[in-house]
Structure 1
Amino acid sequence: MTARDRPEVSVTLLDTDGVRLTIDDAIATVTLTNPAKRNAQTPALWRALARVGQLLPGDVRVVVLRGEGKSFSAGLDRQAFTPDGFDGEPSFIALGRGPEAERDATIAEYQEAFTWWRRNDIVTIAAVQGHAIGAGFQLALACDLRVCAQDAQFAMRETSLGLVPDLTGTQPLVSLVGYARALEICATGRFVHADEAERTGLANLVVPAAELDAATQDLAAALLAAPRDAVIETKALLRSALGRTLDEQRAAERAAQGRRLQDLAGLAE
């Protein structure tokens, strides 16, 4: 039975500030729920996303991130650049004029919404359709895997606005496409379409828009097939591989395999 054949029995744990979290057994779905604004992002949405990471039940193994409507996320809501900003929030202009320590702490808080997706105990999938611009691009990059509709368009527009990508997107972008292409994408702000995303490694899979949800569900189900601890250990090895020497990675592989063999021996008793 594929994921698309299973009956839906889901529980909603959060539905606020443009973010909804639902749980269906070992799969969590995080949905951006403001299609009228193409799921534009705000500080309130970022706090809700950070809260999602805190609310995930321990038996969740796969997290799917999706956006309602025609676009995954068109990026930062431009109201952030107005003098008044959002009600109850510091505007970006006020941040720029404020103390450095306060500015640093505020940006660090925003980054929390983009950080927990990399945890070793879960595998995260972004299902991307339409526009994934700026903060939307970085949110897709925060996930381990990306399934894209044929109409998906990525762009990093921060540099065009006189800013930098500061929501944890620079490291995965370089890791996926290399320094030179990452620099060109960021400095020009151009669109990366689905075919290029698949060719360069930004997208794991590209499908017709009508098949996006089903393809994402099938990938999520496939990720659940292997024993959880083996997937956790493998993700940890792969995520740290580029930061280690070969000898360090060999040692890490031996230690991880030793733990797996101990578990298997215990199961055989």
Structure 2
Amino acid sequence: MPISARAALAEAAARFSFSATPRLDAELLLAHALGITRERLLLTLGDHIAPPAFAALVERRARHEPVAYLTGTRAFWTVDLDVAPGVLIPRADSETLIEAAVAHFTGSAGPKRVLDLGTGSGALLLAALDQWPAASGIGLDASPAALAIAAANAARIAPGRATIASGGWEGTGEAFDLVLCNPPYIADAASLPREVTDYEPASALFAGADGLDDYRALAPLLGRQIAPGGVACIEIGADQGASAAALFRAVGCDVTLRRDLAGRDRCLVVTP
């Protein structure tokens, strides 16, 4: 029996009680099933009947599958990214790195060359290139799944300006005006929501007993990858401000902390 979009949304949101945003989740999935934007859905809600595809999406979300994997897309900064299983889903917290970069380059023409270490979906690189249209850059990752998604995003969002390649924390041998990095920083024993542990790639999340293993590897390699006048913006966990910063200061870098919108330590702003 057909069910109105309004009623279907209410039923779905009730099933998503495990989510911090149950109603939003339901709206995004219904809009996706209808092939329209969420904004269009909200403006025309009374005009729609829930399509059969919505029920299937609700069942998958009820098993904690991330909304971004169900819709295949995620908004980040000023760009819309394709995402898929095997690639970390971009979070709003990571936009703090772009905010830090904007603050660093205020009053200048901005960076000419950008490096994104562990690019994943390409989120940070492509957000930076959208912010500075005259810039070009490289995104490196070790994951074939991430490289495929990032390459597709780069071709669509920044054609001719973004290169995606296999690589690690050692970079390319070139120095860049802006280095961005969201490394794994979760302690191995940390408790995370099922939609993270059951679906997102562990290699992009976990980094040893204290979550600092990748910072230990990155710190001695980072300085030479930053051009004169440049900056690196590195994401950290909310409780890692002091411990992660100490690793970069120990190799001679200057480090300041930037907080996210919730007031939590989120970004190391690093200069050689």
Same fold (TM over 0.5): no
TM-score, with normalisation over the residues of structure 1? 0.26
TM-score, with normalisation over the residues of structure 2? 0.26
- Greater helix share, structure number: 1
